[in-house]
Amino acid sequence: MEFVSPEGLRLDGRRPKELRKLRIKLGSLDGTDGSAFVQLGNTKVLAAVFGPRGAPTGARSSAISCVIAVSAISVQGDRRSKERLGRQATEFSRALTNAMEQLVPADILKNACIDVHVQVLQADGGLFAACANAALLALANAGVPLRDICAACHTGLLESTALVDLSAQESMQQAPQAAILYECRTQSIAIMQTDNKMSTTALEELLELATEGCIALVTAMRQALISSTVQQLSTSAPHASAAQRRD
Amino acid sequence: MLHKKAFIKKTRKGKIQQIVREHYLRDDIYSGTPWDPECDAGAAKLSKDAKHYLVADTNVVLSQMDFLEHAAVEDVIIMSVVLDEVRHRNQSVYQRLRSLCASPTRRFYVFANEHHRDTYIKQEPGESVNDRNDRAIRVATKWYMSRLEPASQADQVPEIILLTNDAENRSRAQSEGLTAISIQAYAKSRTECPELMDLVAAGNLEDEAETAASRAKHAKRARIYEDHRGMADITAGLKAGKYHQGTLRVSRYNPFEGWVGSESVGEDILISGRVAMNRAIEGDAVAIELLPEAEWRAASATLPKAGADGAPAEDAEGAEDMQEDGGHIMEVVPMDISEQPPELTAASKRPTGKVVGIIRRNWRTRGYCGSLQPQQRASARGSTASVLFCPVERRFPMIRLQTRQAEALADKRIVVVIDSWEADSHYPAGHYVRTLGTIGDRDTETEVLLIEHDINTSPFTPAVHACVPQLPWSVTPADLDDPNRQDLRHLPICSVDPPGCKDIDDALHVVELPNGNLELGVHIADVTHFLKPATAIDDEAASRATTTYLVQRRIDMLPKPLTEDICSLRADVERLAFSVVWEMTQSADVVSVRFTKSVIKSRAALTYAEAQSRIDDERLHDEISNSLRTMNRVARILRKRRADAGALSLASPEVKFEIDTETHDPLDVGIYQIREANQMVEEMMLLANVTVAEHTLRAFPACALLRRHPVPAPRQFDPLLRAAAAAGFSLDCSTSKMLAESLDKAVRADDAYFNKLVRIMATRCMTQAVYFGSGECDPPEYHHYGLAAPLYTHFTSPIRRYADVVVHRVLAASLGLAPLPETARDRDGVRSLTDNLNTRHHNAQMAGRASVELHTLIFFKDRVVVADARITKVRSNGLIIFVPKYGIEGPVYFTPKDAAASAKGGARAAIPKQPVSAAAAGSAPPESEYILDEEKQTVTSPDGKVCYTIFDKAAVRIAVEETHGQRRHLVLTLVDRNELPESEQMG
């Protein structure tokens, strides 16, 4: 298999350092405190945030929880591939919950709890990145402050070429792969998740590329947040002025 | 960094599920022509001055690679849709096309039309994939035309020509305003380069006019072969057990007799005759059907001779075909250890089958070397003539080809590729690729044998040379300061090698320790210090895998500065080494062992003869001589120990040429002399290899590179046992130890050479030793049969073997000096590595033997020699004779009739003073003139006067005969032993 042609194109026509097409839609779910739809290539996920709200009575180990669920329609194929995806989702849920406990300031979570639900609608590689980004955007949409602006990105080293944002076809290979959740301001990695054997030099190369990818994603995500906020303000502005007039 | 285009989803139907993949279209793909104003000047690979740019379609690429590879074909645009199709249909053509596109000297440009916004097209409903791809090529061609903009009025932009042999595609292209022509038409238009026409592959891709004519001709011609069954039919047949599949192995002696090893039948199936073979050739994966048991045959028990399988004449035009079988006469062949000759009694019938279909062709893309059959009528100069090509390797059939240069090629060795084999043609059709040189010329013939054995002789690329340190090179202080590198310069190290050896990869030392024990060291050139993984030089070395030694030439695995200087452990210079150092008692029991990278300074580079005389000369008491003697003492103990464990001492008929330094012609030839010094060095190397094998396996149980020698299957010994029984001694092949012991007992008082002859024949029963990864098989299978060692590897020759390089890296990794190499980490990596090592190793050996054979021919060119010989096989119409002194084995025919018949094609031999058996009176077939007794391994003349038995002494006259088939042959003739000079007698 030739994952990067000598002309420098990947199987789907991207160059090694190109992300897939990213689509973000914020606040599309009613009845939630915040929501985000993220489409990364053919991977589609929907995240919803409930909270912060008063903590229920009874002890809870974690004030914030993040649950990723894989929908039945997310992937075609046999039972085994769905089960595998399910196991991955459980793993990602744990990691994201962990990361968010660190990212959401402690005072917000005092006597309060936040539930983040991510639903995978369609899976085509880069699941961790899509879920993490959707969860982060939903939190922002819900108005929950975060310690840093973050993004997640998936990379892999195929045939000694570092590729960003692997498609399902690419991530099926037994090749070094790394996904990170990156905090852009402090320039630190919140979560790193790796697959398959790799040398330290390979890991360094992947991390460098993943960081670059995260920065690009953050730019796009920030843009989406700003434009959604602007839109919200412009649609709510007439009401505000009307209210003023009434006064 | 984000560069996104609107994208279209491409759907591909899998087995059941639908796979959806993204397909991005871009606007940053350039056309690669300097005429395109938008194209980046650096990316413009095509020439500005070209008259035309060529666009090749998939079928042209698949069938006409030789044409495209010709230097006169330039400025070619390859569409990515073509690349994709080629990759799916033929991986080796794909590799060739890729290297063509990557070559900086050729102007081949790949245009990713599938990802360009303006050239991507969707499959229309009702349109087949092929039609869609053809249309994509046309759309891209059209786009190219729109890109070429003349900068000024005077400029003439290149014309874009679509090369396609599909008439429908051509007419569609023309209606769309494109220029489309067939490859034949294009080659014809290039009148300045007539050889292009020869390179155009034959087959069913001819011009329409010619096709019509040939179709008419074909209709007239009778079908010779059955049609091959379709793949679906074959699969169904295999499942039902009606057909069997396997790889065809053609007999070396007879091109129309072969064997298919089939698991479903359990034994080899005989395929006998041209029709049963049904156009399959050596190495093809075939589907066969067993014939009814009544039609089962035995393998031929006679030596093949001219006209043995008569091809029916095709028609008047095919008259020259008649002589082709005359070419397939057995000639003197060198010893072949791996060969299993079809030794069968006339009575024993074997399962016989016929080929019904071909699962996978194994036609060589690198081509077949050979020469043209001389033509009976001269063709007009420059006109296209149909000629037969006769490959040097007689396992392959003749090939018919069209050429305009028949006359010029008459005395040349050429390379030809097979294109197709139609059912109505006796021979496959092929086309000319290139000329190697004049027949019989030593360099040409050497080139032939290198190509035949697939040995890469191309010079190292600049990228490889860039990895080599500058000369003069010396050990740097940094190397000395390296804490992992021990300074062993004070040790009395010396090397012992054959005379003239420049790539010295091993050196030895032994010193007495204060506690009375011995310190023995084997120092191996530290090649991996210079050969870092994942560099150009490492990739090249890995693909070459071994240095090939020919009689007069060496084809290196590593560039010369490394091979002969920087790595070579020469005398009196400091060199880097990887050392194995043992502490052992005086009785050679190992106390401890350590491995270390080191710096050494060899005191002397000795030849075997020098080392031997130092050992033998008791007056010498210098450091080196003393340590050589100690080493020899240790080696004797070790050898004894190994022999007790059951190691075999086998023999090979190795010969040594003395080569004239000026003319490079062989001056003399003789048996390679083995001294005790050789065995001493060998013993030390064995010890080092075994020690390293044990250590690396302990460190990496799953990925150590080892070498094993499988226990031969009992039936492999059958020919030897039969011969032994006839000769009146017994061999026990149950274990290597029993075999070694019974071989020791096989002696004849009147023939000192007898024992060696038996050993040579025993060697031929063995399987080949192979490299493998320790994860590949179970520990009991690691065993090395010949050495009687449970573990073995190759560590001691990293300059000339890549396996040793890998073992060095694994050993370094086990010592924590370097990470484990990437390829050694997983099983698949190790498997592909060892597969290549084994093939290359085998090829290099075969090439070496072929080179010996060639030099033997050159040596005997102007000589006629009478030499001592032994009978190694008896057949009803002749004998196979082995000449120990020259390592030659070949046939001698009994009847002048056979001999005369065979002389037509090549070898001739006759036994003088034999009554020409008119006694047979024509009633009995010629084969029954002599009576073959398989049981006793004798053949007796009809009158009972002469009787030949296997292992008998004989004498032969050796001469070279040149035949019209343009092959030179050694001809062996039996002579009376009285004619044998005293000096020539063996033993």
Which chain B residue has its CA at the smallest distance from A78's CA? B17
CB-side exposure of B128: number of CA atoms within 13 Å? 3
Q: How far apart are CA B757 and CA B650, in angstroms?
A: 10
Residue B335 has pLDDT above 70, yes or no: no
pLDDT bucket at B213, cuts 50 / 70 / 90: low
Least Cα distance to B582 among B594, B573, B570, B572 occurs for B594
- List residues bridging with B280 in a β-sheet: none
Residue B104 has pLDDT above 60, yes or no: yes
Radius of gyration of chain B, Cα coordinates, nearest whole angstrom: 32
Q: How far apart are CA B428 and CA B413, in angstroms?
A: 19
Least Cα distance to B485 among B574, B569, B599, B600 occurs for B599
Which chain A residue has its CA at the smallest distance from B25's CA? A13
Residue B338 has pLDDT above 90, yes or no: no
Of the candidates B23, B87, B101, the beta carbon closest to that of A13 is on: B23
Residue B562 gets which letter from DSSP?
I
What is the widest separation between alpha-carbon atoms in chain B? 97
Query: Could you give the percent of chain B with pLDDT greater than 70?
Result: 84
B409 backbone φψ class: left, alpha, beta (φ>0; ψ -120 to 50): alpha
* Residue A247 within a domain: no
Residue B225, number of CB atoms within 10 A of its CB? 19
* Residue B2 within a domain: no
Q: Is A238 exposed, middle or buried (0-12, 13-18, 19+ CB in 10 A)?
A: exposed
Of the candidates B18, B21, B110, the beta carbon closest to that of A169 is on: B21
* Residue B20 Cα, gap to closest chain A Cα (Å): 8
Q: Is B466 exposed, middle or buried (0-12, 13-18, 19+ CB in 10 A)?
A: exposed
Q: How far apart are CA B121 and CA B901, in angstroms?
A: 65
| CB atoms A42 and B22 under 8 Å | yes
Q: How far apart are CA B726 and CA B933, in angstroms?
A: 10
Q: How far apart are CA A58 and CA B134, in angstroms?
A: 70
Least Cα distance to A163 among A212, A215, A209, A124 occurs for A209
Residues of chain B positioned with their CB less than 8 A from the CB of A199: 819, 822
* Residue A243 within a domain: no
Least Cα distance to B138 among B57, B199, B224 occurs for B57
Residue B444, number of CB atoms within 10 A of its CB? 16
Residues of chain B positioned with their CB less than 8 A from the CB of A12: 21-24
Mind listing the pLDDT tens digit for each residue in B852-865? 888 888 888 878 88
Task: Please report the pLDDT score of residue B222 as a whole number.
Answer: 67
Of the candidates B22, B25, B819, the beta carbon closest to that of A199 is on: B819
Task: Please report the pLDDT score of residue B25 as a whole number.
Answer: 86
Structural domain range at position B964:
860-984
* Segment among A112-116, B325-329, B648-652 with least mean pLDDT: B325-329
Residue B346 has pLDDT above 50, yes or no: no
Q: How far apart are CA B630 and CA B633, in angstroms?
A: 5
Q: Look at B324 and B765; give whichever has higher pLDDT.
A: B765
Q: Is residue B154 domain-shared with residue B237, that is, in the same domain?
A: no
Mind listing the pLDDT tens digit for each residue in B741-759? 888 887 777 777 788 888 8
Q: How far apart are CA B597 and CA B355, in angstroms?
A: 57
Q: How far apart are CA A72 and CA A122, in angstroms?
A: 9
Calculate the average pLDDT of chain B.
Answer: 79
Q: Which residues of B826-853 are buried (b: 16+ CB within 10 A; e: fewer)?
A: eeeebeebbebbbebbebbbbbbbbbbb
Q: Is residue B296 domain-shared with residue B392, that is, in the same domain?
A: yes
pLDDT bucket at B952, cuts 50 / 70 / 90: confident
| CB atoms B21 and A17 under 8 Å | no
Task: Please report the pLDDT score of residue B320 as a whole number.
Answer: 33
* Residue A169 within a domain: yes
Query: Could you give the percent of chain A with pLDDT greater than 90?
Result: 49
Q: Is residue B804 domain-shared with residue B911, that is, in the same domain?
A: no
Residue B899 has pLDDT above 50, yes or no: no
Residues of chain A positioned with their CB less than 8 A from the CB of B821: none
Q: Is residue B50 domain-shared with residue B89, that is, in the same domain?
A: yes
Q: Which CATH number belongs to the domain containing residue B904 in this structure? A: 2.40.50.140
Task: Please report the pLDDT score of residue B332 as a whole number.
Answer: 38
* Residue A60 Cα, gap to closest chain B Cα (Å): 42
pLDDT bucket at A58, cuts 50 / 70 / 90: low
Show which of B401, B420, B452 is a domain's final residue: B452
The enclosing H or E element of B69 equals helix B65-69
pLDDT bucket at B920, cuts 50 / 70 / 90: very low
What residues of chain B, 343 to 402, have a C-beta less than 8 Å from chain A? Answer: none
Q: Mapping DSSP to helix (H, G, I), strand (E, B) and coil, where does residue B308 land?
A: coil
Q: Is residue B320 domain-shared with residue B444, that is, in the same domain?
A: yes
ipTM of the complex: 0.87
* Residue A65 Cα, gap to closest chain B Cα (Å): 33
Task: Please report the pLDDT score of residue B300 as a whole number.
Answer: 65
Query: Could you give the percent of chain A with pLDDT greater than 70?
Result: 91
State how beta strands B268-272 and B257-261 pair. antiparallel
Structure tokens at B646: 């059951």
Interface test with A, best of B25, B80, B115 (most A CBs within 10 A): B115
Estimate the crossing angle of helix B80-89 against helix B91-102, to 10 degrees.
Answer: 140
Which chain B residue has its CA at the smallest distance from A22's CA? B4
* Residue A212 Cα, gap to closest chain B Cα (Å): 9
| Residue A92, C-beta contacts closer than 8 angstroms, at least 6 positions apart | A68, A127, A128, A131, A132, A193
pLDDT bucket at B653, cuts 50 / 70 / 90: low
Task: Please report the pLDDT score of residue A142 as a whole number.
Answer: 92
What residues of chain B, 323 to 342, have a C-beta less than 8 Å from chain A? Answer: none
Task: Please report the pLDDT score of residue B271 as a whole number.
Answer: 86
Of the candidates B1, B29, B102, the beta carbon closest to that of A17 is on: B1
Q: Is residue B247 domain-shared with residue B182, that is, in the same domain?
A: no
- For chain A, the domain total comes to 1
B241 backbone φψ class: left, alpha, beta (φ>0; ψ -120 to 50): left
Q: How far apart are CA B383 and CA B407, in angstroms?
A: 10
Yes or no: say if A113 and A64 are a contact pair by the CB < 8 Å rule: yes
Residues of chain B positioned with their CB less than 8 A from the CB of A15: 3
The enclosing H or E element of A216 equals helix A200-246
Residues of chain A positioned with their CB less than 8 A from the CB of B83: 5
* Residue B913 within a domain: yes
Q: Is residue B375 domain-shared with residue B514, that is, in the same domain?
A: no
The enclosing H or E element of B130 equals helix B129-147
Residue A146 has pLDDT above 50, yes or no: yes
| CB atoms B24 and A14 under 8 Å | yes
Task: Please report the pLDDT score of residue B378 as a whole number.
Answer: 57
Residue B904 has pLDDT above 70, yes or no: no
Structure tokens at B582: 């043992």
**What is the DSSP secondary-structure string of B738-787?**
HHHHHHHH--BTTBTTHHHHHHHHHHHHSPPPEEEETTTS-GGGG-BTTT
Q: How far apart are CA B538 and CA B819, in angstroms?
A: 16
Q: Which residues of A9-43 are buried (b: 16+ CB within 10 A; e: fewer)?
A: bbbbbbbbbbbbbbebebbebeebbbbbbbbbbbb
| CB atoms A18 and B87 under 8 Å | no
Q: Is residue B556 domain-shared with residue B513, that is, in the same domain?
A: yes
Q: How far apart are CA B264 and CA B206, in angstroms?
A: 41
B23 to chain A, any CB pair closer than 8 A? The answer is yes
- For chain B, the domain total comes to 4
| CB atoms B1 and A18 under 8 Å | yes
pLDDT bucket at B304, cuts 50 / 70 / 90: low
Residues of chain B positioned with their CB less than 8 A from the CB of A7: 29, 80, 110, 112
| CB atoms A76 and B17 under 8 Å | yes
* Residue B31 Cα, gap to closest chain A Cα (Å): 12
Task: Please report the pLDDT score of residue B312 as a whole number.
Answer: 33
* Residue B244 within a domain: yes
* Residue B214 within a domain: no
- Tell me the range of B62-66, B160-164, B721-725 where mean pLDDT is highest: B160-164
* Residue B815 within a domain: yes
Query: Could you give the percent of chain B with pLDDT greater than 90?
Result: 15
Q: How far apart are CA A10 and CA B29, in angstroms?
A: 13
B80 to chain A, any CB pair closer than 8 A? The answer is yes
pLDDT bucket at B799, cuts 50 / 70 / 90: very high
Average pLDDT over every residue of A230-236: 82
| CB atoms A13 and B26 under 8 Å | yes
Average pLDDT over every residue of B924-946: 68
Q: Is residue B376 domain-shared with residue B501, that is, in the same domain?
A: no
| CB atoms B24 and A11 under 8 Å | no
The enclosing H or E element of A226 equals helix A200-246
A155 phi, psi to nearest 5 deg: -135, 165
| CB atoms A19 and B2 under 8 Å | yes
What residues of chain B, 529 to 558, have a C-beta less than 8 Å from chain A? Answer: 534
Q: How far apart are CA B495 and CA B510, in angstroms?
A: 12
Mind listing the pLDDT tens digit for each residue in B372-397? 887 665 555 556 778 888 888 878 88
Of the candidates B3, B25, B29, the beta carbon closest to that of A18 is on: B3
Task: Please report the pLDDT score of residue B333 as a whole number.
Answer: 35
| CB atoms B25 and A220 under 8 Å | no
Least Cα distance to A73 among A143, A120, A11 occurs for A120
Q: Is residue B634 domain-shared with residue B584, that is, in the same domain?
A: yes
Q: Is residue B477 domain-shared with residue B420, that is, in the same domain?
A: no
Q: Is A210 exposed, middle or buried (0-12, 13-18, 19+ CB in 10 A)?
A: buried
| CB atoms A6 and B22 under 8 Å | no
* Residue B780 within a domain: no
Structure tokens at B45: 């690979």
| CB atoms B112 and A167 under 8 Å | no
Q: How far apart are CA A175 and CA A173, in angstroms?
A: 5
Structure tokens at B60: 């042209």
B820 to chain A, any CB pair closer than 8 A? The answer is no
pLDDT bucket at B905, cuts 50 / 70 / 90: very low
Residue B923 has pLDDT above 50, yes or no: no
Mind listing the pLDDT tens digit for each residue in A179-211? 999 999 999 999 999 988 888 888 999 999 999
Structure tokens at B92: 């080796």
| CB atoms B98 and A199 under 8 Å | no
Q: Fill in the amino acid letter for B268.
A: D
What is the widest separation between alpha-carbon atoms in chain A? 70
Residue B760 has pLDDT above 70, yes or no: yes
Q: How far apart are CA B24 and CA A123, in angstroms?
A: 18
Residue A44 has pLDDT above 90, yes or no: yes
Q: How far apart are CA B784 and CA B671, in angstroms?
A: 27
Residues of chain B positioned with their CB less than 8 A from the CB of A216: 1-2
Question: What share of residues in chain B are helix, strand, coil (percent, to 5)?
Answer: 35, 25, 40
Q: How far apart are CA B370 and CA B352, in angstroms?
A: 31
* Residue A106 Cα, gap to closest chain B Cα (Å): 36
B305 backbone φψ class: left, alpha, beta (φ>0; ψ -120 to 50): beta
Residues of chain A positioned with their CB less than 8 A from the CB of B112: 5, 7, 9, 13
Mind listing the pLDDT tens digit for each residue in A88-99? 899 999 999 989
Which chain A residue has its CA at the smallest distance from B114's CA? A13
Yes or no: say if B200 and B184 are a contact pair by the CB < 8 Å rule: yes
Average pLDDT over every residue of B965-987: 72
The enclosing H or E element of A128 equals helix A127-141
What residues of chain B, 560 to 589, have a C-beta less than 8 Å from chain A? Answer: none
Radius of gyration of chain A, Cα coordinates, nearest whole angstrom: 19
* Residue A72 within a domain: yes
CB contacts < 8 Å between A and B, how many?
68
Structural domain range at position A73:
22-54+64-231
Which chain B residue has its CA at the smallest distance from A219's CA? B2
Task: Please report the pLDDT score of residue B122 as a whole number.
Answer: 84
Yes or no: say if B412 and B436 are a contact pair by the CB < 8 Å rule: yes
Average pLDDT over every residue of B712-731: 80
Which chain B residue has its CA at the smallest distance from A123's CA? B20
Estimate the crossing angle of helix B676-699 against helix B623-645, to 10 degrees.
Answer: 70
Q: Which CATH number belongs to the domain containing residue A197 in this structure? A: 3.30.230.70
* Residue A173 within a domain: yes
Residues of chain A positioned with their CB less than 8 A from the CB of B80: 5, 7
pLDDT bucket at B325, cuts 50 / 70 / 90: very low
Task: Please report the pLDDT score of residue B674 as a whole number.
Answer: 75
* Residue B829 Cα, gap to closest chain A Cα (Å): 12
Mind listing the pLDDT tens digit for each residue in A123-141? 888 899 999 999 999 999 9
Q: Which CATH number belongs to the domain containing residue B122 in this structure? A: 3.40.50.1010
Task: Please report the pLDDT score of residue B214 as a whole number.
Answer: 53
* Residue A14 within a domain: no
* Residue A33 within a domain: yes
Least Cα distance to B339 among B250, B444, B449 occurs for B250
B101 to chain A, any CB pair closer than 8 A? The answer is yes
* Residue B108 within a domain: yes
* Residue B125 within a domain: yes
Q: Is residue B430 domain-shared with residue B525, that is, in the same domain?
A: no
